[in-house]
Amino acid sequence: MTELLQRAITEIEKLPKEVQDTIAARILEELEDEHAWKIQFETTTAEQWDKMAEAVHQSISTGDTFSLDEILPHEDLTQ
């Protein structure tokens, strides 16, 4: 176990049991999700990747996409 994980567990152990269970459930859900994505990526064929890339290029060329700055404008933090 890493030092960081051990520190996190030590802090979690100080919390009420119901909060510990909530955190544990979230961690387990995250692990399940990561496993599902890993399998999805591992089983995606080159042909499927090519098809997805073509769909993205088509979306860009028809103007159906937006830059991330348009969707999530950020504040200028230098002021």
The per-residue pLDDT for 77 is: 61
The per-residue pLDDT for 3 is: 98
In a domain, 55, yes or no: yes
In a domain, 76, yes or no: no
Query: Encoding tokens for residue 53?
Result: 């890339």
In a domain, 62, yes or no: yes
Structural domain for 51, as ranges: 3-71
In a domain, 60, yes or no: yes
Q: What pTM was estimated for this model as a whole?
A: 0.62
Number of structural domains in the chain: 1
Residue 20 exposure: Cα atoms within 13 Å on the Cβ side: 10
Q: Please tell me what DSSP assigns to residue 78.
A: T
In a domain, 79, yes or no: no
The pLDDT tens digits for 50-75 are 999 999 999 888 988 877 887 888 77
In a domain, 78, yes or no: no
Q: What is the DSSP string of 20-72?
A: HHHHHHHHHHHHHHHHHHHHHHHH--HHHHHHHHHHHHHHHHTT----HHHHS
